[in-house]
Amino acid sequence: MTTMELFPEVQGFLAEQKRLFIGGDWVEPAAGEYFNVENPATTLNIASVSKATAADVDHAVQAARQALEGEWQHVSPAQRTKLMLRLADLIEEDAENLGQIISLENGKPYSNAKNGEVVVTANVIRYFAGWPSKIEGSTIPVSPRTGERMLNYTVKEPVGVCALIVPWNFPLSMCAWKLGPALATGCTSILKPAEQTPLSALRLAYLIEKAGIPRGVVNVLTGFGEGAGAPLAAHPGVDKIAFTGSTGVGRLIAQSAVSNMKKVSLELGGKSPNIILPDADIIKAAKGAADGIFYNQGQVCTAASRLYVHESVLDQTLEELRKHAAAHVVGPGLNEQTTMGPLVSSAQFDVVKGYVDSAVSEGAELICGGGKPSELGDGYFMSPTVFLDKQEQARVAREEIFGPVVTVMSWSDVDELVHRANDTPFGLAAGLWTNDLTQAHTIASRIKAGSVWINCWNVVDPASPFGGYKQSGWGREMGKNVIDAYTETKSVFVNLG
């Protein structure tokens, strides 16, 4: 494989010891502690990053509060739009550097990072840049019991200081999903990236500074969940938490929010059903199924990890899945031929390998994959893996794995299929492959999921709401729905008598 050389600016960025971004300044962590960031393709350390603690959380919350009650509240909607558009332009201009940084810390192929995640990040910021002038109140024709003539109107105000806690699977675009509406509504933020992937968030902080966004409006704390994330979620000076991650951690965050009744939005786990009907174009459906599970090494909350195939087309679908799995080139993200990088960490590799190893003993049949490609040395690589589990008994068929592992199940009766698809604590996404529009809309209406894709998978747009049913989360991100999550509605009565 041909490995890309690191760009000079990326080399310089990695060589610097990374400080915290608080109040517009780059500051040393209060405890003076740092931790190393690992490249999952080589297991080598690539950068040293500040380890934030509760004292740093206090500092960041104070800076965010000061900005909220100071300069930022006087920045007009038009000015917020201008600043956000400037930030989006800077993200695009820095796409090559950001792409390498993401590939190094996360493992995903450089082309996916640069042409996928960085582009999405800029587009999300641009979408929300259009919102500041469109966050409107309303007048309401009220009839007070006392008979006075009243003018009643509502005002949308920023919810306040927001804690934005983002995951490692899309370390830059998930920042934009939360920073976009926070900036648009006039909130201030403390951004806490995952400890596995803090570098792209720090690079974003540099661009935020360069864009001229006022000091303290966005603060970035790097560190671990117990040292920085937990005190941030529990801090009485935080008005809202937005979290993307596991359902287990989401429960802990919801419990922390009770102390001062913070507003909370949670985008959590999934075990998404993907359904192939007998009339579907099997070639296209199988490709869509493969893309739905192997993209981003399967480290996607909406991963198409449960594949329900009608019994009449099961053998053909399995053969097509084998072909797509075999076509993937697994390797380091900076190798130009790579189409699937490593898993993000040793811990994640162990989780995925544990599921694979237990699957056969639980009754699943291994169709392909199941281990690390023999030609690869160091690094947390996992081959694209396909299981067949007709009885749907193995853990791989029921629990979120977060790796390139799909379990195929056959079906024959639609009513039973819908029951099986909904028989999960999650409800984030689902998909259908069919040429029968009546069947497509009928089944889609019966599936309990926040997103249902018909003859496609993982189509996400900043204008469209995203979130889940059941234990897949609270609230929605993106679109106009998310504006309510970052605003408070004030009702004002004026006596005109």
Residues labelled as active-site residues? 267, 301
Question: How far, in Å, CA of 274 to CA of 304, rounded?
Answer: 6
| Cβ pair 87, 125 in contact under 8 A | yes
B/e letters for 165-184, b = 16+ CB within 10 Å, e = fewer, are bbbbbbbbbbbbbbbbbbbb
Residue type, 193: P
Question: How far, in Å, CA of 333 to CA of 335, rounded?
Answer: 5
The angle subtended at Cα 440 by Cα 439 and Cα 444, nearest 5°, is 115
| Run of H or E including 259 | none
Question: How far, in Å, CA of 431 to CA of 433, rounded?
Answer: 7
B/e letters for 32-41, b = 16+ CB within 10 Å, e = fewer, are eebbebbbbb
| Run of H or E including 343 | none
Q: Is 424 exposed, middle or buried (0-12, 13-18, 19+ CB in 10 A)?
A: buried
| Residue 304, both tokens | 């198409």
| Cβ pair 270, 426 in contact under 8 A | yes
Whose CA is closest to 136, among 155, 117, 115? Answer: 155
311: DSSP letter: G
